[in-house]
Structure 1
Amino acid sequence: MASRSTLRRHDALYFDDGNIVMSATSANNPGSVVFRVHKSVMAKHSPVFADMFSLPDTGTAAETYDGAPLICMPDAAEDLQKLLEALYCQPPFSLVPLSPHNPSIARPVLALSTKYEITHLRQLIVDRLEADWPLTLEKWDALEDMTMSQRSHHYRFPGPFIDDLFPEPASAIRLAHDFDIPTILPAAFYHLLRIPVADDWNLLHKDSPKATAEALWTGRRTAKWDLLRAEDLLTVLRGRDALLRALNAKMFSISLEPEHPEDEERCDKFEGYSALIDIVKGYFEPTT
């Protein structure tokens, strides 16, 4: 427990009528932050907190702060703040549709809502992620076509970065593994397969030369490759190899002399893409 001199009350999440105080160590500043909240609010949302508060004389035998029982939390103060804001503040916690920043914004709230079994808050985040990463390729293609059409209609060059209009796949994949959300993996891997390893988010999103900015403005997409686990990188390599083999087989099977001349364009346009759909659906579909 930090000394009293190193405890700092949170400006917004310290309620005078609260009946429980939580302290948590700050990752960015020395000392600990204390939050004064309400047992009834916390217990309503979380069975873990409900069980904790049902113990006799919660915290009083150990220590009190400002006349209320004090609980030392194992979580980072910054993460606990995000969770309490999601439970207390208005408007309620929300994520911007298709934002590439959703995984980083959602991570602390998702982590603690999972840990403390706040199911409605976890489900809200999962629903948003599943909307960002459609469960079928057909829905992903429709979303991608709509977004690109809106960009071309409303913006002139240079316009916004393409990356700003679509979710970022590597951070989504890492989040899916860390918090058991397998449903978003197929679309996230599919999107990642089309991004060259050289197109790295951390490099191209820095203050960069004009040529790099133009590359992003005109359609190059990037990924946060450094967030991927080794097994995810291996999955990408295997997926790309499978795609190349499938596409080569499809292209080899196309007749050089179709019965109807108009079929030639159709073959070039759809046969390879059909193979891509089949292989991605089969390769990245989460197993049950």
Structure 2
Amino acid sequence: MFSLPANPEVNEILDGVPVVRMQDDANELAALISTFYDPVALELRNSDRHRTRLRALLSLSTKYQADRTRAHAVKFLESEWPKTLEDWFLHQSQMSERVRYSKLVRHYDFDYPAEHFFPEPAADLRLAIDFQVPSILPTLYYRLAISDTQIDFDQDFESQGSLSANWKLLQARDWMRVTRGKGHLLKAAELITDIVIQLPSPRCQEREACKKAVYAQAGAIHIWDASADFARQPDIIGKVFGILDSLESYASGSSFCCSCEYSFQESLRRFLNDTWEELADTFDLASEGEVA
């Protein structure tokens, strides 16, 4: 574009040099060009809550085929969101620890939800869709599905236990996927009860005690499964992590024998991995070619 021959009769000339009028924002264009000369200019931070700089770099690097800059921006965006079940567990644990720290120490950020120190999902969803970054879409849709649609990300609220999002950024297709995905997650929750009622295991050592434990565990699952809060925010992965944690710490009072407890844990672990691996199908991404 810059090497096109100048025609004084057609092109504007300034100080003997042809002027190329570009439609891009001057600051955004300067940010892109600076990355060609200064590696520090490629640094991105998650403190950019609205992703202004990241969107500018993705947009212009795509438009002008600045592949190195685009690859760096895509890599940063992908690094902000978990792509494995293990990474998701660590991500959620960090958020919980932020809440715990604020409560214990009453740091200056005590009045702010912990999620404000982590990436905001709706803005990143728009980036992932607009600039073809499909690897993080399943995680982003799950994060939106377990968030409270009654709370906007920029709204002040007291509940540290509720996740929110910048809901106004979602488009009709996004809402459809989130809504249908919630339905699939609620349906999947029924499978947890099915796992429980398959106990006692064939190798059960204390059948009567384990039968009582089955009733207790099934009843506890039914309570949260039927709650309005779970219907709004069906975090089935978080719930199963909680059950496994209680079994591991003996906090559930389940009274399962060793054989039944091991069988129950293994079934829950398989459920967790299957649920995570099927997120693309849960949110109907594969059928529309959003993910491979």
- Residues 226 and 78 (structure 1 numbering): CA distance in 2 closer, same or farther, change over 3 Å? same
- Choose the corresponding residue for 2:149, options 194, 197, 216: 197
Q: Output the CA distance in 1 between the equivalents of 2:151 and 2:170.
A: 14
CA-based RMSD of the aligned residues comes to 3.2
Deviations 1:166-194 (CA, angstroms, capped at 9, x unpaired): 11111111111111111111111121111
Q: Output the CA distance in 1 between the equivalents of 2:111 and 2:8.
A: 56
The match for 2:138 is 186
Q: Output the CA distance in 1 between the equivalents of 2:291 and 2:21.
A: 40
Of 135-144 and 105-114, deviating more is 135-144
Q: Which consecutive unaligned segments of at least 5 residues does structure 2 have?
A: 218-239, 245-266, 282-289
The match for 1:54 is 3
The sequence identity of aligned pairs, in percent, is: 30
> Which of structures 1 and 2 has the larger relative contact order (alpha carbons within 8 angstroms, sep 6+)?
2
The match for 2:195 is 253
Kept in 2, the 8 Å contact 1:59–1:70? The answer is no
1:1-288 correspondence runs (5 A): 52-57=1-6, 62-88=11-37, 91-97=40-46, 99=47, 101=49, 103-149=51-97, 152-153=100-101, 156-157=105-106, 158=110, 160-202=112-154, 204-205=155-156, 212=157, 214-215=158-159, 218-255=160-197, 258=200, 259=204, 269-270=243-244, 275=271, 277-284=273-280, 287-288=291-292
Kept in 2, the 8 Å contact 1:113–1:122? The answer is yes
* Deviation of the 1:283 alpha carbon: 3.2
- Residues 180 and 77 (structure 1 numbering): CA distance in 2 closer, same or farther, change over 3 Å? same
Deviations 1:130-168 (CA, angstroms, capped at 9, x unpaired): 111122122121233245436634762326531222111
Of 85-94 and 261-270, deviating more is 261-270
- Residues 172 and 254 (structure 1 numbering): CA distance in 2 closer, same or farther, change over 3 Å? same
Kept in 2, the 8 Å contact 1:134–1:140? The answer is yes
**Higher strand proportion:** 1
Q: Output the CA distance in 2 between the equivalents of 1:273 and 1:233.
A: 30
Letter in 1 for 2:58: L
Deviations 1:10-41 (CA, angstroms, capped at 9, x unpaired): xxxxxxxxxxxxxxxxxxxxxxxxxxxxxxxx
DSSP-derived class of the 1:72 partner: coil
**Higher helix proportion:** 2
Kept in 2, the 8 Å contact 1:95–1:102? The answer is no
- Residues 152 and 65 (structure 1 numbering): CA distance in 2 closer, same or farther, change over 3 Å? farther
- Residues 161 and 267 (structure 1 numbering): CA distance in 2 closer, same or farther, change over 3 Å? closer
TM-score (norm 2): 0.66
TM-score (norm 1): 0.66
Q: Output the CA distance in 1 between the equivalents of 2:75 and 2:144.
A: 21
Kept in 2, the 8 Å contact 1:135–1:187? The answer is yes
- Residues 170 and 277 (structure 1 numbering): CA distance in 2 closer, same or farther, change over 3 Å? farther
DSSP-derived class of the 1:135 partner: coil
Kept in 2, the 8 Å contact 1:103–1:171? The answer is yes
Q: Output the CA distance in 1 between the equivalents of 2:242 and 2:119.
A: 29
Kept in 2, the 8 Å contact 1:100–1:163? The answer is no
Aligned length: 226
